[in-house]
Amino acid sequence: MELHSLTIHELQDMIRAGGTTATRITEAVFQRIGAVEPKVHAYIRLMKEEALAQAALADEDIKRGDIKPLTGIGVALKDLLCTRGVPTTCGSRMLQNYISPYDATVVEKLAAAGAIFIGKTNTDEFAMGSSTETSCFGPTRNPWDTDRIPGGSSGGSAAAVAADECIAAVGSDTGGSIRQPASLCGVIGFKPTYGLVSRFGLVAFASSLDQIGPLTKDVEDAAIMMNVLAGYDPRDATCVATQIPDYRKFLGRDISGWLVGIPKEYFAEGTDREVLDAVEKAVQSVEKCGARITEISLPHTKYCVAVYCIIAPAEASSNLARMDGIRYGLRAKEARDLAEVYTKSRTDGFGAEVKRRIIIGAYSLSAGYRDAYYGKASQVRTLISRDFDEAFRECDIILTPTTPTPAFKIGEKVENPLQMYLSDMFTISANLSGIPAISIPCGYTHAGLPVGVQFLAGRFEEARLLQFAAAFEKSAAVEKRRPVV
């Protein structure tokens, strides 16, 4: 097995046994990138020189016996995460020349854990998209079929993991942006509880919804990454001070007797038949673990997309107000006065989807409409959250499809924003309610495209969720196929 295709825990075992080095792993990853990146376009920027220098230092640590949780492991960073001295573009012309003067908290934590930074991955512009097609740097392609999208907005991170262009990656999830591309690319995507992972240094899209999490090759790697990423940070006012267990210790534990809720609202018309078939097989695998299945109801599910499409643009319009050509972002050169600086800079700097969401958000927050739109959406959001609170009084875990369809063709939904938004219809609710969720591969379509199943747990129940996901992964034993790029 080639080094670039191995997991974090497999490589760490090899490092401890003297079977490889950080430099060899890093060189193997960049050799793989050289072979497949022209077809996939997972990265906006590669950091080869920096990565090899980090690997050399890691090898000195290894010689001294100082092996940290991610020593020698090549990690890719979504290009919404501030990285000191490196451009952080958010996939936008607006920030294409912005170089961050500081590291995001998660970047600091990964570096302290010994990670090697491979590069910054492609993303929908300011994370606004479900296909990684709105990036000003061009679309990322799905390694399983390069005519198809990888999902979004963390499509570059998901594609990099699937194509073995890194060992693990970090993304952000506002309405499914980790889990949806993970499902479409056949990898693990984990969205933690809101407030468990610091958002300091993440360029904000919708501040009450955004959360950072890992994309990995298996569940154990997700647990390893969460051990590094989770934890209180005083620089993020929304970060919660809570005890962080060793998530790996929960893997391999029995889940027999657990009650798994299947919400009837997530199995309605419009979901692809092959997706439903794969998820039904996933339910059977859960039962083989000794868990019990029960039908539940999340009655306000039908409002999730509408609520999201008010709250997320409203918060985005507020957050992106700073991108005005003066405080941050591209500055129009031929503006004659202050008003033209604002107008021309934002017109030239933002793409169509970002403009659309800013306009929607500004309208829903405007005088006379705020209560009718943003206020009402916030009230319904509370009802959606209460649905989950009630459900978790009845069951331990909730099981749903991750996406309604497999990966679709590039360009297929670009002109139909509503259809694009509906590709996140099963993932949005976890962001609105702040609960943790994971997407894990559960099968393939007849065309060989991966399908994911989603598990959800109560707030700060990451250990329970990873325990369940690991048991499912072992029971389902989904064939470990590799995309041929």
Q: Is the pLDDT of residue 177 over 90?
A: yes
pLDDT of residue 380: 98
Q: pLDDT grade, residue 179 (50/70/90)? A: very high
- Give the list of residues 6+ apart from residue 71 with CB closer than 8 angstroms, or none: 12, 15, 22, 58, 61, 62, 113, 114
Q: Which amino acid is at 233?
A: D
Q: How far apart are CA 363 and CA 373, in angstroms?
A: 9
Specify if 411 maps to a domain. Answer: yes
Instruction: Report how many domains make up the chain.
Output: 1
Q: Which amino acid is at 289?
A: C
Q: pLDDT grade, residue 419 (50/70/90)? A: confident
Specify if 315 maps to a domain. Answer: no
Q: Degrees (nearest 5) of the Cα angle 440, 441, 443?
A: 150
pLDDT of residue 280: 97
Model pLDDT for residues 184-230, shown as the tens digit of each residue? 999 999 999 999 999 999 999 999 999 999 999 999 999 999 999 99
Arithmetic mean of pLDDT, 322-338: 91
3-state secondary structure of 215: strand
pLDDT of residue 269: 79
**Cβ atoms of 363 and 369 closer than 8 Å:** yes
**Phi then psi dihedrals of residue 334, to 5 deg:** -105, 20
Model pLDDT for residues 266-300, shown as the tens digit of each residue? 987 789 999 999 999 999 999 999 999 999 999 99
pLDDT of residue 343: 93
Specify if 243 maps to a domain. Answer: yes
Q: How far apart are CA 450 and CA 271, in angstroms?
A: 15
Could you tell me which residue, 418 or 53, shows the higher pLDDT?
A: 53
406, 170, 202, 206: CA torsion to nearest 10: 20
pLDDT of residue 335: 87
pLDDT of residue 158: 98
Specify if 352 maps to a domain. Answer: no
Q: Which amino acid is at 110?
A: L
| Full residue range of the structural domain in which residue 190 is found | 3-257+401-476
Could you tell me which residue, 367 or 136, shows the higher pLDDT?
A: 136
pLDDT of residue 290: 97
Arithmetic mean of pLDDT, 248-269: 95
pLDDT of residue 27: 98
pLDDT of residue 1: 73
Long-range contacts of 16-20 (CB under 8 A, 24+ apart): 16/67, 20/72
Token code pair at residue 453? 């199943």
CATH value at residue 143:
3.90.1300.10
Element (H, E) at 72: none
Q: pLDDT grade, residue 415 (50/70/90)? A: confident
Specify if 250 maps to a domain. Answer: yes
Specify if 40 maps to a domain. Answer: yes
DSSP string, 39-69: HH--EEEE-HHHHHHHHHHHHHHHHTT---T
Say how many C-beta atoms besides its own lie within 10 A of residue 322's C-beta. Answer: 11
**Cβ atoms of 87 and 96 closer than 8 Å:** yes
Arithmetic mean of pLDDT, 104-112: 98
Specify if 336 maps to a domain. Answer: no
Model pLDDT for residues 8-48, shown as the tens digit of each residue? 999 999 999 999 999 999 999 999 999 999 999 999 999 99
- Beta bridge partners, 171, equal 213
Preceding amide of 198 cis, omega within 30: no
Q: pLDDT grade, residue 417 (50/70/90)? A: confident
**Phi then psi dihedrals of residue 329, to 5 deg:** 95, 175
- Catalytic residue positions? 78, 153, 177
* Of residues 79, 60, 71, the one with CA closest to residue 110: 71
Model pLDDT for residues 441-482, shown as the tens digit of each residue? 999 999 999 999 999 999 999 999 999 999 999 999 998 899
**Cβ atoms of 429 and 217 closer than 8 Å:** no
Specify if 354 maps to a domain. Answer: no
pLDDT of residue 103: 98
pLDDT of residue 270: 84
Q: How far apart are CA 434 and CA 193, in angstroms?
A: 6
